[in-house]
Amino acid sequence: MAEPGPLDRRRFVLRGLALAASPLLAGCDRLSEARWIARLLQAGEGLTHRVQRTLTRRRALAREFPESARSAVFPGNGTTDPGTEAYQALAAAGFADWRLEVRGLVERPARLSLVELRRLPARTQVTRHDCVEGWSAIAKWTGVRLGALLDAAGVRPEARYVVIRCADTMDGSGEPYYESLDLEDAYHEQTILAYEMNDRALPVAQGAPLRLRVERQLGYKMAKYVTAVELVAGFGHIARGRGGYWEDRGYEWYAGI
């Protein structure tokens, strides 16, 4: 047998270190699965939410960039094509038959076409999209202000959250994507349902024909392939009850950090 080379020795040392640390790490992994730890750590989210909202100007706008700051490539994360027959049929017709449903705790439920949406007060903004994974990309978005849409539908006083329903299911889980935001974020000036990205109709990879933009939160909040805007008093009855597809899988409902 040959003498162990430096690489083997390095590997040996690394393996030794890993072995020595493994009981400690296994302990930490067990902690991560303990329910009381999860509950304790979740307290951090409530604290962050309260402190960020209390200490900052509630209507502060996310920074808007010059058009020259836009990313050449904007990653399409999560679903990049819902792939269902119904969706493909809609896409093939340029979403002429697609409708956005406004429902739940509203005075005037509605079903709106893209043409009708384009008649509502719109906003254009060049903003930075921050993914929970760590990357950032900048694009120009144009869409209807969610606040204007809600005013047109008449929000009933008992409504507290806006649930965004989507056409896509993630990872073959069969569970449709959805998100929720409170009325404060829904009425924020930069919160829009975007039908255009970089001066063109929203591409399929970015959620055609309509995606949510909530500029002061992370990317997973900005649901794509939107089919309905639903006003609710609470979201505990929806899916696993945590207010969103990723929230149901352990991510924070308050995605401002």
Partner 1 sequence: MTDGPASRTWLYRHTAATRLSHWITVLCLLVLAPSGLQIFNAHPTLYWGERSDAEHAVLALRAVTTNDDEIRGVTEVWGHRVDTTGLLGASTEDGERVARGFPAWATLPGSQWLAMGRRWHLFFAWVFVLNALAFGLYAILSRHLTRDLLPGGRDLAGLGASLRDHLRLRFPSGEPRYNVLQKMAYVSVVVVLGPLVVLTGLAMSPWADAALPLLPALFGGRQSARTVHFALTFALIGFTIMHVFMVTVTGIANNLHSIITGWARVHHHGSRDG
Residue 182 in the binding site for partner 1 (CB under 8 A)? no
Dihedral class, residue 32 (left if φ above 0, else alpha if ψ from -120 to 50, else beta): alpha
- Is 251 a residue that touches partner 1 (CB under 8 A)? yes
- Least Cβ distance, residue 204 to partner 1 (angstroms): 22
Residue from 155, 161, 156 nearest 185 by CA:
161
Is 63 a residue that touches partner 1 (CB under 8 A)? yes
Q: Say how far apart CA 164 and CA 102 lie, in whole Å.
A: 10
Distance from C-alpha of 230 to C-alpha of 104, rounded to nearest angstrom: 5
**41 is a site residue for partner 1 (CB under 8 A):** yes
β-pairing, 100-104 with 226-232?
A: parallel
Restricting to residues 205-234, which ones interact with partner 1 according to CB under 8 A? 215-218
Choice between 32 and 124, CB closer to partner 1: 32
Among 4, 44, 94, 234, binds partner 1 (CB under 8 A): 44
Exposure class string for 190-218: b at 16+ Cβ within 10 A, else e: bbbbbbbbbeeebebbbbbbbbbbbbbbb
Please state the separation of Cα 231 from the chain's center in Å: 17
Instruction: Identify which of residues 133 and 151 has a Cβ nearer to partner 1 in the complex.
Output: 133
* Residue 13 touching partner 1 (CB under 8 A): no
The residues that touch partner 1, with contacts defined as CB under 8 A, are: 11, 14, 17-18, 21-22, 25-26, 28-29, 32, 38, 40-45, 47-48, 52, 55-57, 60-63, 65, 69, 71-73, 128, 130-138, 215-218, 246, 249-252, 256-257
